[in-house]
Chain A
Amino acid sequence: MIWLDTLAQGILLGGLYALFAAGLSLVFGIMRLVNLAHGDLIVFAAYVVLMGVTLLGLSPWIAALAAMPLMFAFGWLLQTAVLNRVLGRDVLPPLLVTFGLSVVLQNGLLEAFSADSRRIPTGLLEGASIDLGLVTVGVMPLLTFASAIVAIVALNGLFYHTALGRAFRATSDDAVTAGLMGIEPKRIFAAATGIAMVVVTIAALYLGMRSNFDPSIGPARLIYAFEAVIIGGLGSLWGTLAGGIVIGVAQTVGAAVNPEWQILSGHLAFLVLMLLKPRGLFPRAVD
């Protein structure tokens, strides 16, 4: 029974990692940009939500909803003002710029909010759980997982059933020819980063409600997100969820064996899967 519980916890934890990873996956898929500041952007968004809760007295859900358009605008500006200038044939400049952005964000947050760890208050929800018969699961992990599913369904719907999604895929295939179709690749990239920041806000909400955070924890979230994307196979959001679940289950199983092994076993699972499936679980046919 305890193992079944552990497994259920791990799967639900995978939802959180999938939320961390979805924005990263989206941006990489469309513009081949590896955003090294992705984890710090999640932490940044968590502080934005926290401000809504503490300064304006909003509930965390409303604060996150209010933060979404702000984060979309922030993503749009970031792409237009900074990242579009460094995207090109050379992969190094965007890596350096996003690495720099990561440093700036961490230090900016440290300056503004200090190194104290904070948490988005949730009231009773935090300890609530549901008995599902075989296993008992926390309401918060269940909500996280459900949100990951909703986010992935919504993103896939956007990708495959809207004109914007068609432009995303076309630009990802061939930006020059997309330009000949009247599509401005740079505006498409700005929209993509804006949407990624909306997903980042959802990830930030659950990050901040489920555990303490401080300005320094971004890079570790980036690693989990990366591992989830790579395990899943680049370009598949359902694969990213599967990757998140692999890491989540490995971590909870590791922690059940020995609490010190939680993080390590997640990384080990990643290494083992890379040895067995170097292109990930669900690789895209063309790449």
Chain B
Amino acid sequence: MLLETRDLTASYGQFRALFGVDISVDAGECVAIIGANGAGKSTLMRAITGVIRNEPGMVLHRGEPIGALSSARIMQRGIAMVPEGRRLFPSLTVEENLLIGGQARKAPGPWSLETVFDLFPILRERRKSPGTALSGGQQQMVAIGRALMSNPELLLCDEISLGLAPVVIRDIYAALPKVRAGGTAIVVVEQDIGQALAVADRVYCMMEGRVTLVARPGEVTRQQIHAAYFGEAA
């Protein structure tokens, strides 16, 4: 098991955001986590990456608890994050934004500045521009490329389609199979059910801080997903 959460809880002050979440990701697998706004998907990503702290035994990477580690140490273990809202560094150029992703950890693997530019050719032309001068879709490409630069074992993608035009979303999702081909497992967090089902081996649906459904895309009906997503009998 590459990554596992066991009865994971998380809170923001008094507000409890996760209530005992169990998910698992195998090496090389693509897992989707779907759910409406406020379902706890992004909180789950923040808890896994150490942005919000949790009890030591609740998040396991290769069987070892990582809940007490800093974000930086977790990333250095090979868990890279494409954060919600892209979060490029405004003071850095496109190229520098990419380079910084592979600065603290550079495992052997397919990803380098050149192969990221091959994946998203538009970035090669814009390499000297400030990261935040790009369009939303191009910024998302930089954020994905930045996370790939360390050649991670696991890529966490938090809402990579949010706020983008359908044609741009298609381009970005087209990159994910190439990422998997490089041996990286992927977790995509999505509100867009169609996108998630198209790429994932398994789907978790979340609602109000709990997992309400675990399924393989081919083995689940629209009604079941609808019920797990919105919490009502369809």
A residues less than 8 Å from B101 (CB atoms): 181
Which residues of A (152-196) have their CB < 8 Å from a CB of B? 163, 166-167, 169-170, 172-174, 176-184
B residues less than 8 Å from A130 (CB atoms): none
Is B70 in contact with chain A by the CB < 8 A criterion? yes
A residues less than 8 Å from B87 (CB atoms): 174, 177, 180
Name the interface size band of chain A: 10 to 19
How many contacts A-B (CB < 8 Å)? 67
Which residues of B (77-109) have their CB < 8 Å from a CB of A? 80-81, 83, 87, 89-92, 96, 99-101, 103-105
- Chain B window 126-147, contacts with chain A (Cβ cutoff 8 Å), 1 for yes, 0 for no: 0000000000000000000010
Report the separation of the CA atoms of residues A286 and B81 in the bound assembly, to the nearest whole angstrom. 25
Q: Name B78's closest neighbour in chain A (CB-CB).
A: A182
- Which of these, A167, A169, A174, A180, contacts B49 with CB under 8 Å? A180
Q: Is the interface of B mostly helix, strand, loop or mixed?
A: loop
Report the separation of the CA atoms of residues A178 and B89 in the bound assembly, to the nearest whole angstrom. 9
Is B151 in contact with chain A by the CB < 8 A criterion? no
Given the interface pairs A177-B83, A180-B83, the reply to whether A286 lies near B100 with Cβ below 8 Å is no
Report the separation of the CA atoms of residues A101 and B34 in the bound assembly, to the nearest whole angstrom. 51
Chain A nearest CB: distance from B111 CB in Å?
A: 14
Chain A nearest CB: distance from B155 CB in Å?
A: 12
Report the separation of the CA atoms of residues A169 and B146 in the bound assembly, to the nearest whole angstrom. 16
Whether A166 lies near B103 (C-beta < 8 A) is yes
Report the separation of the CA atoms of residues A141 and B15 in the bound assembly, to the nearest whole angstrom. 61
Given the interface pairs A176-B51, A176-B71, the reply to whether A181 lies near B100 with Cβ below 8 Å is yes
Whether B71 lies near A174 (C-beta < 8 A) is no
Name the interface size band of chain B: 20 to 34
Chain B nearest CB: distance from A228 CB in Å?
A: 22
Whether A184 lies near B99 (C-beta < 8 A) is no
- Which of these, A169, A180, A182, A183, contacts B92 with CB under 8 Å? A169
- Which of these, B50, B51, B70, B104, contacts A181 with CB under 8 Å? B104
A residues less than 8 Å from B150 (CB atoms): 182
Chain A nearest CB: distance from B98 CB in Å?
A: 11
B residues less than 8 Å from A180 (CB atoms): 49, 51, 71, 75, 80-81, 83, 87
Whether B76 lies near A170 (C-beta < 8 A) is no
Whether A166 lies near B99 (C-beta < 8 A) is yes
Whether A169 lies near B75 (C-beta < 8 A) is no
Is B72 in contact with chain A by the CB < 8 A criterion? yes
What 6 additional pairs, Cβ within 8 angstroms, besides A166-B99, A172-B91, A180-B51? A169-B89, A173-B91, A177-B87, A181-B72, A182-B105, A182-B150
- A/B interface sample: 18 pairs, CB < 8 A: A166-B92, A166-B99, A166-B103, A167-B100, A169-B91, A170-B100, A173-B89, A173-B90, A173-B92, A178-B100, A179-B70, A179-B72, A180-B49, A180-B51, A181-B104, A181-B146, A182-B105, A184-B72
